[in-house]
Structure 1
């Protein structure tokens, strides 16, 4: 463990490794990427995660229901941040993962184990290539679970893609902050390989600035998609296609299907229009 009182000269300065002016602030994907920690238990890990992302040029840290209230003020968190106090202090605290993903259109969940449902996992180096493509359309998020239990199946299904760090199978345990560091490092390299710190997003006024796909059609945000799932589930229940008392894995499979498609806002509206019409015919219209 590195002592929190180490000198500032020992800190890695990400700006010195960016292309162009060494003092030019990182932008583009670096400012459009959120690092989300779901129910972190240990303040030290939160501080270390803040340090991990700052060393790679990122700054947006989101905490979902941390176990310690006001964890940004915890002495252990501050000590482990070790110079990333600004990132720690600016961390956004929200009650649910849905709140953390609000406004994003793509998210990557990190998991230490294989899942029966959800998108197939990819190694970080492959997963961040997809992140590079997705960040051109707006905010994205990297999602990490609790130190003890990781992410729930529900949390994984809410995300667009899944990553797994191929660690030593005989001892694959990574600390939360270490996992954050691995993903932040891979994502940094991928963003810079795209042509510079700002290359992940085109110039203002381009497709990415307006959150559109290559066709000019806006991509759906995470909250748009979640409302679509609620609407679709209600329609399937109204059709007696889905038994709420015995749902099995229908909605999980549908989530996996749609996660592979990269939904545009217009496509979400089409699905919701179908669901609305079904509910109207059944006399149970509920536009959620």
Structure 2
């Protein structure tokens, strides 16, 4: 099983969605949070009062129903930020006045080192965050995007921020799916080469009287690939099929 980093900051991380219009985005945001190990979701005046239980929301959450169950709906951004010591607002472009604009990757390690409880605040799909909500923030997060087009779907933005924050806190281990026993040993590779040598002679591709360096080159080709036992079986199966012809 992957290792789960243990950090006090993980329990002090909140995602706040302000004025969300589409139920699917709420569900997708919950899913984005859960896969990165976060569960504290707060909605501020969503379009639908019952959004957390709507069919589209639950469907898009896809296994993150527990995040929806624990989520809260509040009337104001200040209420959503209770208990938070550092607020990160998200905006597509920097503003003339307000908190400093930072990219997530260089900024997040600083927050972890300071031990802040952090809230990431996302605006509505159509209008983003109001100036007043941005002014409440300590930092304005700007996700680096291609010049000329910086439009991210709400749930996509939540996923990017959740991923970068998880990396700063300590990422999950990647589960190794290939076991050492699956790698082909040298004897198996040599057996496949010998089999192919026989076939190449039979089809006239290899002249045993003048083999040149064909087989050593094939040896080097196979060595570069670090073959598995299954791949050796496939190569020998092809050789047998050619011999039957």
TM-score range, shorter chain: 0.5 to 0.7
Task: Give the aligned partner of residue 252 of structure 1.
Answer: none
CA-CA distance at 1:126 after TM superposition:
1.6
CA-CA distance at 1:81 after TM superposition:
0.1
Larger helix proportion, structure 1 or 2?
2
SS at 2:43's partner residue? strand
Task: Give the aligned partner of residue 149 of structure 1.
Answer: 127
SS at 1:126's partner residue? helix
CA-CA distance at 1:171 after TM superposition:
2.5
Distance 2:110 2:50 in 1: 34
| Cα deviation code 1:235-256 (max 9, x no counterpart) | xxxxxxxxxxxxxxxxxxxxxx
| TM-score using structure 1 length | 0.57
Contact 2:89 2:137 in 1 (8 A): yes
In the TM superposition, structure 1's runs of 4+ consecutive aligned residues that sit over 6 Å from their partners are none
Distance 1:169 1:188 in 2: 26
| Cα deviation code 1:152-185 (max 9, x no counterpart) | 1100000111110111123221100000000000
The structure-2 alpha-carbon separation of the partners of 1:80 and 1:133, relative to structure 1 and needing over 3 Å to count, comes to: same
User: What pairs with 1:139-288 in structure 2 (closer than 5 Å)?
Assistant: 139-192=117-170
Q: Does 1:18 align with 2:4?
A: yes
Q: Does 1:104 align with 2:84?
A: yes
Aligned residues: 173
The gaps in structure 2 that reach 5 residues or longer are 174-245
Q: Does 1:69 align with 2:69?
A: no
Distance 2:45 2:163 in 1: 26
Contact 2:7 2:169 in 1 (8 A): no
CA-CA distance at 1:27 after TM superposition:
4.6
After alignment, is 75-84 or 117-126 more displaced? 117-126
The gaps in structure 1 that reach 5 residues or longer are 1-14, 20-25, 197-288
Task: Give the aligned partner of residue 88 of structure 1.
Answer: 68
Q: Does 1:115 align with 2:95?
A: yes
